[in-house]
Amino acid sequence: MKPVRPWLIWGVVGIAVLLALYLPFSVSDPELDRMSTVMTLALGAMGLALLTGFSGQISIGHGAFMGIGAYTTAILVADRACPWFLAFAASAALCLVVGMLVGLPALRIRGTALALATLGLAVLFPQIVKRYPDTTGGSQGKNLFQYRFRAPSWTNNLNLLDTGKPLSDEQWTFYVVLVFLLVALLLFRNLIRSRVGRALIAIRDNEVAAEVLGVNLAAYKVIVFGLSAMLAGIGGALAVAVTPVATPGDYDILLSIRLLVMAVVGGIATITGPIVGAAVVFYGNEEIKDRTTELAPVVLGGALIALMMVLPEGIVGGVNRAWGRFRRTKATTPADPSRSDPSGVVTSGAPAGAGDPGGSV
């Protein structure tokens, strides 16, 4: 396969930068919050893709990890007067540790048993939150409107795109979440293409063969569970920056299922698939609700089933497969069929058998 041309890569990056600069000034603040919410969900789906798509460990509890990140940030900011970015870091560290602890059972169980274990975590988390109302706010949730994530004063001098106005809180939040997502995407890509990523894929494909080749199954399984939980926790921490309230209902089992659906729809074994899946599922659900509120779950479910029948590898996986076929077809198609044999070797143009007494080419 031919390498991607540098001008194409930089062209895509340039277009993305221009869109990122222009978009926040061309849409309303509520729409910006929706976009930021999609990116936080994409982080959670990305963590799930890392765990399930690239290491083969099934989890239905990543909504709980997002909840841990959200509540840790909310408690630190509201009760401990902690700076937002320091709270983000603390939430990521805590989710990393909790994820590694939850990943310990993965050393003994796998498949549906592991899925059920993580399902228990998703069910248990909202009950734990409700049990300690003095700290978490109980069923009413943790309110951060008084401490909401605001644009710092130095952004007043930016005046991007010559708008004559400083960045609003929603625009600042959008840029911060976007930077977190891009950094996570870059680290995710580098991890998958590294020796660690190859080891994870080997574990997914065949644990016995991977162990024979010297892969430390226990270490890799626990570490990838922690990294996966950390990504989800960062998504949850950023979610309370976008919407300054955390309630138990926001991080229940339905969120875990939604994250799994987003990862699968986009392509659970792809790097950018979770981002595409998060956008498709979120906006698709919103669009269906606007048209038919009562039948929204049925219509969305039917649409997802149809999509999976057409693209079982997800949207990005299907695009990658189609592109791979196109490249192979282009590479194997001879430039001049009349001067090429079936093996693709160009002949001299002499009549068949002229240089071979047996007449074979």
**Cα dihedral angle (120, 109, 213, 187), rounded to 10 degrees?**
0
pLDDT tens for each residue of 149-193: 988 887 776 666 556 677 888 999 999 999 999 999 999 999 998
Q: Classify 83 as helix, strand or coil.
A: coil
When pLDDT is cut at 50, 70 and 90, the band that residue 12 belongs to is low
Average pLDDT over residues 32-39: 94
Q: How many domains does the chain contain in total? A: 1
pLDDT of 10? 66
The verdict on residue 326 lying in a domain is: no
Our measurement of the distance from residue 175's CA atom to the centroid of its chain's CA atoms, rounded to an integer in Å, reads: 18
CB 241 within 8 A of CB 73: yes
Alpha carbons 327 and 350: distance in angstroms, whole number: 31
Tokens of 74: 């909310």
The verdict on residue 76 lying in a domain is: yes
pLDDT tens for each residue of 187-216: 999 999 899 999 999 999 988 888 888 888
Tokens of 133: 């109302």
Alpha carbons 256 and 69: distance in angstroms, whole number: 14
The verdict on residue 298 lying in a domain is: no
Neighbours of 215 (CB within 10 A): 18
DSSP state of 149: -
pLDDT tens for each residue of 233-273: 999 999 999 999 999 999 999 999 999 999 999 999 998 89
Q: Which span out of 76-90, 162-176, 318-332, 338-352 was modeled with the highest average pLDDT?
A: 76-90
The verdict on residue 295 lying in a domain is: no
The verdict on residue 119 lying in a domain is: yes
Query: What b-and-e string marks burial along 121-146, b requiring 16 or more CB atoms within 10 Å of the CB?
Result: bbeebbeebbeeeeebbeeebbebee
CB 67 within 8 A of CB 236: yes
The verdict on residue 81 lying in a domain is: yes
Assign 3-class secondary structure to 279-305: HHHHHHHHHHHHHCCCCHHHHHHHHHH
The verdict on residue 187 lying in a domain is: yes
The verdict on residue 67 lying in a domain is: yes
**What domain range is 127 assigned to?**
27-151+166-253
